[in-house]
């Protein structure tokens, strides 16, 4: 995509389907005067909406609508941009797009690829990479908190945090590089500049931004929660209770759920992708065997697993043996798996007191009455690591979190070099350089073309 970034482009910028209004957008470095004259019948006044007939090759109106012209560099892409707003029927918009492409054939006008308008904005320094990604995140936001956080990132809040960290790293790099040029002054120079104190405070600042980025990643991506347990423990009832709708079939017949049922809910603005799975037991037929196999596959991919138990059946030998078998496979030999497993005991409304003490972090609830659901929701947020106020969070992606983690790792290595009795300042300088580069990946200061292609290819066409 990057090799064609000087081509003039055009696309329908509104969602497919019928609507009240649809937009055809054109962006080009070349003069758009001939295209405006052919389609609009006149050259438009910059940044003024003009109501007029949008004409075909014979001069007949395709539709009547608004035309807006934004001359470079004062446009979304930084190039000359023409937007034609017509009625939102797919045929009308396709006719308008075809007309623009035909008129623009002489200047090489072509269909835009996904995300190419926003890519132009990035390449022309209208947005940095984090802001460009926030455009897509704002469009895709599934909760109000995610939308507000994406808007905050689009306005530059996240980029400002990153730029501040970058400036502090640059200052430290300057001190160390200057010291390398004058080695006889190295101890006094660095001590007088409080280089060690600056580095320590910088690491603390990175930790703070990293924590907020993790919260933003949760708002964007949510957490994948799988309901697991034996048949008839109430998994489908719990999914329905959490979703507030009858999504899954609930019957007393074991093995009712044969395939996964998924619903996205939100808790304090954090999306939770809750998945109900087939009851885990020895399969009675081929269909159930496939369903159980899919259940284990979902469990392996989950961020959190609700291991659901039936309080009314505790103490029954067959039931306890089934739970023990599931627990052994669920937790495996890795004790770290315990961190994502939440033990929940259902049917508290119909059960006698538990015959044995439950685990310290276990929850009791009733999916039938809703008692205890609030505690489960908060426990899920805690397992996900959510603790920030949405108003203080900027949207972030997994790659942002990973880049900040690499930045922190290099700064810690730099700190270790600085504290060593035989400190090697050239190694200290190298770690600071690597930290600087890792941080630059977030805003696009240091980004390979293949990374940019991957990011923008996930945008919708016309944006």
- Residue 350 belongs to a domain: yes
The reply to whether 398 sits in an annotated binding site is no
- Residue 17 belongs to a domain: yes
Q: What is the mean pLDDT of the chain?
A: 84
Supply the pLDDT for residue 456: 76
The reply to whether 443 sits in an annotated binding site is no
Among left, alpha and beta (phi > 0; psi -120 to 50; other), residue 133 is alpha
The reply to whether 235 sits in an annotated binding site is yes
Supply the pLDDT for residue 388: 64
The reply to whether 214 sits in an annotated binding site is no
145 and 119 within one domain: no
The reply to whether 277 sits in an annotated binding site is yes
The reply to whether 253 sits in an annotated binding site is yes
Question: What distance in Å separates the CA atoms of residue 385 and residue 400, rounded to the nearest whole number?
Answer: 17
111 and 30 within one domain: yes
Question: What distance in Å separates the CA atoms of residue 308 and residue 229, rounded to the nearest whole number?
Answer: 5
371 and 245 within one domain: yes
Domain extent, residue 115, equals 2-127
174 and 113 within one domain: no
Supply the pLDDT for residue 79: 96
320 and 260 within one domain: yes
Question: What distance in Å separates the CA atoms of residue 158 and residue 219, rounded to the nearest whole number?
Answer: 14
56 and 168 within one domain: no
Supply the pLDDT for residue 422: 64
The reply to whether 297 sits in an annotated binding site is no
Among 338, 363, 384, residue at a domain's last position: 384
Going by C-alpha positions, the residue among 102, 84, 104, 93 that lies closest to residue 35 is: 104
The reply to whether 261 sits in an annotated binding site is no
The reply to whether 232 sits in an annotated binding site is yes
Pairing status of strand 270-276 against strand 261-267: antiparallel
Going by C-alpha positions, the residue among 355, 357, 361 that lies closest to residue 343 is: 361
The reply to whether 53 sits in an annotated binding site is no
Where residue 113 sits, what CATH number does that domain have? 3.30.1360.120
Q: Identify the segments of the chain with pLDDT beneath 70.
A: 1-3, 181-190, 192, 245-260, 283-284, 332-337, 351-357, 359-360, 388-392, 421-423, 446-455, 458
- Residue 453 belongs to a domain: no
Q: Are 276 and 259 in contact (CB under 8 A)?
A: no
- Residue 450 belongs to a domain: no
Question: What distance in Å separates the CA atoms of residue 31 and residue 37, rounded to the nearest whole number?
Answer: 11
Strands lying side by side in the sheet with 261-267:
261-267, 270-276, 223-228, 304-310, 341-346, 363-364
The reply to whether 347 sits in an annotated binding site is yes
The reply to whether 260 sits in an annotated binding site is no
231 and 309 within one domain: yes
The reply to whether 42 sits in an annotated binding site is no
422 and 335 within one domain: no
The reply to whether 463 sits in an annotated binding site is yes
376 and 233 within one domain: yes
- Residue 391 belongs to a domain: no
- How many domains, in total, are found in the chain? 3
Whose tokens are 């090697």? That residue is 424
The reply to whether 254 sits in an annotated binding site is yes
The reply to whether 349 sits in an annotated binding site is yes
378 and 231 within one domain: yes
The reply to whether 312 sits in an annotated binding site is no
Supply the pLDDT for residue 239: 86
CB contact set of 88 (below 8 Å; sequence gap of 6+): 14, 17, 18, 19, 20, 21, 22
Going by C-alpha positions, the residue among 115, 99, 97 that lies closest to residue 12 is: 97
306 and 237 within one domain: yes
């Amino acid at each position: 995509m990057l090799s064609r970034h000087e081509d003039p482009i055009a696309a329908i910028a509104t969602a497919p389907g019928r609507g009240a209004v649809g937009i055809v957008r054109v962006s080009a470095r070349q003069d758009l005067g001939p295209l405006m004259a052919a389609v609009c019948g006149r050259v438009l006044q910059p940044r003024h909406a003009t109501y007029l007939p949008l004409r075909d090759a014979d001069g007949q109106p395709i539709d009547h609508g608004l035309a807006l012209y934004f001359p470079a560099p004062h446009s979304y892409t930084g190039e000359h941009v023409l937007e034609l707003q017509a009625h939102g029927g797919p045929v009308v918009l396709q006719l308008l797009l075809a007309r623009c492409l035909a008129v623009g054939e002489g200047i090489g006008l072509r269909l835009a690829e996904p995300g190419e308008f926003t890519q132009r904005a990035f390449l022309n320094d209208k947005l940095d990479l984090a802001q460009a990604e926030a455009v897509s995140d704002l469009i895709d936001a599934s909760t109000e908190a995610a939308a507000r956080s994406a808007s905050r990132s689009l306005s530059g809040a996240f980029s400002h945090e990153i730029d501040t960290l970058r400036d502090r790293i640059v200052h430290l790099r300057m001190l160390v590089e200057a010291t390398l040029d004058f080695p006889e002054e190295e101890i006094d120079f660095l001590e007088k500049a409080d280089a060690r104190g600056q580095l320590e405070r910088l690491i603390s600042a990175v930790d703070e931004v990293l924590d907020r980025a993790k919260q933003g990643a949760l708002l964007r991506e949510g957490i994948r929660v799988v309901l697991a347990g034996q048949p008839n423990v109430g998994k489908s009832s719990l999914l329905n209770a959490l979703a507030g709708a009858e999504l899954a079939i609930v019957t007393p017949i074991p093995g009712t759920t044969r395939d996964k049922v998924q619903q996205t809910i939100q808790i304090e603005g954090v999306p939770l992708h809750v998945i109900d799975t087939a009851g885990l037991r020895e399969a009675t037929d081929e269909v159930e065997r496939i369903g159980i196999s899919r259940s284990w596959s979902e469990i392996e991919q989950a961020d959190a697993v609700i291991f659901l138990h039936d309080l009314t059946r505790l103490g029954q030998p067959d039931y306890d043996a089934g739970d023990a078998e599931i627990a052994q496979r669920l937790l495996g030999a890795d004790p770290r798996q315990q961190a994502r497993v939440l033990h929940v005991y259902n049917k508290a409304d119909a059960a006698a007191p538990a015959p044995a003490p439950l685990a310290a972090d276990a929850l009791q609830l009733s999916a039938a009455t809703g008692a205890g659901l609030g505690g489960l929701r908060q426990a899920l947020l805690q397992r996900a690591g959510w603790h920030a106020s949405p108003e203080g969070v900027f949207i972030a992606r997994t790659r942002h979190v990973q880049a900040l983690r690499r930045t922190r790792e290099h700064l810690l290595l730099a700190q270790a070099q600085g504290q060593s009795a035989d400190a090697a300042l050239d190694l200290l300088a190298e770690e600071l350089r690597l930290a600087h580069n890792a941080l630059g990946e977030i805003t696009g200061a240091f980004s390979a073309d293949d990374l940019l292609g991957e990011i923008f290819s996930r945008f919708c066409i016309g944006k």
